[in-house]
């Protein structure tokens, strides 16, 4: 018999519009899907959920165990993430802080749906009502009597010991916030009534996939209600909810989360620049450069519903005073953001020329054609570049006394080393096109007194400078294929399965047919059978044969 819910394991148990309709009308190739996943909440998801359930006034202050990026995405790495013993302690401390804020006098009137019969005593009925309301959103499904028994018991015991109902409630809530049911998005499968040989996500699991894909947070009450009524088993019911989610301002939050993951913008948390070499690039500029690329993408792809390929050539963006100091352009709105467009002929064209890219993929005190070329290959074209061998000698490139004054001349040393040449041919001809931007992203024409040659090549497309690189990326089919595959992988929380290759090819073709617009692509993925189809696990082998 098929289990209703995926088991989390003993370790976890120990943890306390019309155009769019047309775009989705074509049939999709059959797919058996992939396995159900058990994903740990990312830091951003954790923060979003707490804000959505209890309000943005609740402060989430603490560190999180890192998630290892897998298949280019943290969303996939989360399905392989565990929680270390120190991580357990950190989540417990977070839960304690959050719970105390929720029951504090300034919040309890808003967040607790009842008043205890006596503030200095236990009240199981009121505690149950609170835990049922919060637990449904925290656990992303209907809560059971077993789910409620533990928190209510803890709340009763603590309330009697502390002679304070709200103190007891906080202890019970701490237990819910350290539960695997909250910290992990655990999917469940059920038989597909359309084909007894196939499985599909159950209603609550599908609600979670849709909500985390489109909003990057827990399903809201309306989506959970639709799941409870069985509406997510019906194509029209799913379409109604997807259209509602995509019409919400929270959809922008979801798109921002996707590109934050795809472009590795979380790396800004460890970005360092030498303040003596780049005095204009301070903390404010670093924070604003991360926000700048997200605003650019939302404007181009959501507000304007533009062609995805245009993100590599656009001169439109947004500017603040700290950014203006690094870009060396006037900022028109002190203290805030203002639309900005680089002049015709300016080398800045496309997100790959913005500070968020050229500064992030550089060293603290100098640029790096290799890091930038690698980032374009891996982040924007989905082409894996092998890691360098362990015995590589960088002395010839880093020698300050080298007569080779430009990065192009110094990198020529790698072209003569068989251990390096293969990979550097993939990266350097791309990254050298961005050498007119120093390690902080500021424009320069020379390096060490020598004029910079910014010509290069991408997959046979030769160009003279950074603008030419953007045009080459715009015309490269790998760029559009990459965002399609990343979007589906992000939504599913797992790598693409072999049986989904025809579906990927169809998805890429539909993306082209829709003018490479992001919104129809995300809607098509959200409505697809592929996203809800689950592959049956292979039978385990024993001495007597399959079991």
Q: Per residue in 425-483, pLDDT tens?
A: 888 899 999 999 999 999 999 998 899 999 999 999 999 999 999 999 999 999 999 99
Q: Report the SS3 class of residue 48.
A: helix
Residues in the chain: 547
The yes-or-no verdict on residue 543 having pLDDT over 90 is no
- Taking a C-beta distance cutoff of 8 angstroms, is the pair 471, 352 a contact? no
- Dump pLDDT digits (tens) for 522-542: 999 999 999 999 988 766 544
Alpha carbon distances (Å) from 316 to 310, 312, 476: 10, 11, 21
Task: Provide the whole-model pTM.
Answer: 0.91
* CA–CA dist 168, 380 (Å, integer): 50
Q: Mean pLDDT throughout 495-504?
A: 93
- Dump pLDDT digits (tens) for 394-407: 555 555 666 666 88
CA angle 505, 506, 507 (to 5 degrees): 90
* CA–CA dist 418, 421 (Å, integer): 5
Percent of the chain with pLDDT over 70: 88
Alpha carbon distances (Å) from 118 to 87, 115, 125, 218: 37, 8, 12, 33
The yes-or-no verdict on residue 488 having pLDDT over 70 is yes
- Whole-number mean pLDDT of the chain? 90
Alpha carbon distances (Å) from 81 to 41, 42, 78, 122, 206: 9, 10, 5, 38, 21
Q: What pLDDT shows up at residue 85?
A: 93
Residue from 545, 441, 532, 538 nearest 204 by CA: 532
Q: What pLDDT shows up at residue 24?
A: 41
Q: Residue 335: which residues within 8 A CB-CB, separation 6 or more?
A: 321
Instruction: List residues bridging with 456 in a β-sheet.
Output: 463
The larger pLDDT score, comparing residue 233 to residue 387, is at 233
């Amino acid at each position: 018999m098929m289990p209703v819910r995926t088991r989390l394991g003993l370790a976890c148990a120990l943890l306390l519009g019309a155009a769019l309709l047309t775009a989705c009308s074509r049939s999709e190739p059959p797919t058996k899907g992939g396995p159900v996943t058990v994903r740990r909440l990312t830091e951003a998801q954790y923060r979003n959920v707490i804000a959505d359930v209890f309000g943005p006034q609740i402060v989430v202050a603490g560190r999180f165990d890192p998630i290892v990026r897998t298949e280019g995405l943290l969303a996939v790495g989360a399905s392989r993430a565990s929680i270390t013993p120190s991580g357990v302690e950190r989540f417990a401390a977070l839960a304690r802080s959050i719970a105390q804020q929720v029951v504090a006098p300034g919040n309890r009137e808003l967040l607790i749906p009842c008043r205890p019969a006596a503030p200095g005593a236990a009240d199981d009925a009121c505690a149950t009502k609170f835990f049922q309301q919060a637990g449904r959103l925290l656990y992303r499904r209907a809560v059971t009597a077993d789910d409620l028994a533990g928190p209510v018991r803890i709340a009763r015991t603590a309330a009697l010991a502390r002679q304070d109902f709200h103190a007891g409630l906080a202890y019970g809530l701490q237990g819910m916030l350290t539960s695997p049911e909250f910290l992990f998005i655990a999917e469940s499968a059920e038989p597909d009534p359309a084909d007894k040989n196939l499985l599909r996500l159950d209603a609550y699991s599908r609600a979670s996939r849709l909500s985390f894909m489109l909003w990057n947070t827990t399903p809201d009450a309306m989506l959970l209600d639709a799941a409870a009524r069985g509406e997510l088993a019906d194509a029209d019911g799913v379409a109604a909810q997807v259209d509602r989610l995509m019409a919400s301002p929270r959809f922008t939050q979801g798109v921002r989360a996707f590109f934050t993951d795809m472009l590795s913008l979380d790396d800004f948390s460890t970005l360092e620049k030498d303040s003596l070499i780049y005095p204009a690039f301070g903390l404010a500029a670093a924070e604003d450069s991360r926000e700048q690329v997200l605003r650019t993408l939302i404007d181009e792809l959501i507000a304007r519903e533009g062609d995805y390929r245009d993100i590599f050539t656009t001169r439109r963006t947004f500017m603040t005073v700290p950014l203006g100091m690094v870009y060396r352009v006037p900022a028109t709105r002190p203290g805030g953001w203002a639309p900005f467009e680089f002049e015709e002929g300016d080398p800045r064209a496309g997100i790959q020329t913005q500070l968020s890219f050229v500064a992030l993929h550089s060293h603290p005190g100098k640029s790096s054609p290799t890091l930038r070329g690698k980032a374009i290959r891996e982040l924007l074209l989905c082409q894996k570049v092998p890691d360098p061998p362990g015995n590589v000698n960088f002395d010839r490139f880093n020698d300050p006394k080298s007569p080779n004054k430009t990065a192009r001349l110094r990198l020529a040393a790698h072209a003569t080393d068989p251990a390096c040449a293969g990979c550097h041919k993939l990266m350097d001809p791309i990254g050298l096109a961005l050498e007119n931007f120093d390690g902080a992203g500021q424009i320069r024409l020379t390096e060490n007194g020598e004029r910079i040659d910014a010509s290069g090549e991408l997959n046979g497309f030769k160009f003279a400078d950074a603008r030419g690189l953007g045009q080459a990326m715009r015309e490269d089919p790998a760029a559009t294929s990459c965002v399609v595959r990343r979007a589906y992988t992000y939504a599913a929380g797992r790598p693409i399965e072999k049986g989904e290759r025809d579906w990927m090819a169809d998805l890429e073709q539909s993306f082209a047919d829709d003018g490479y617009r992001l919104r129809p692509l995300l809607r098509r993925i959200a409505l697809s059978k592929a996203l809800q189809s689950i592959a049956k696990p292979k039978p385990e082998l024993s001495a007597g044969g399959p079991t």
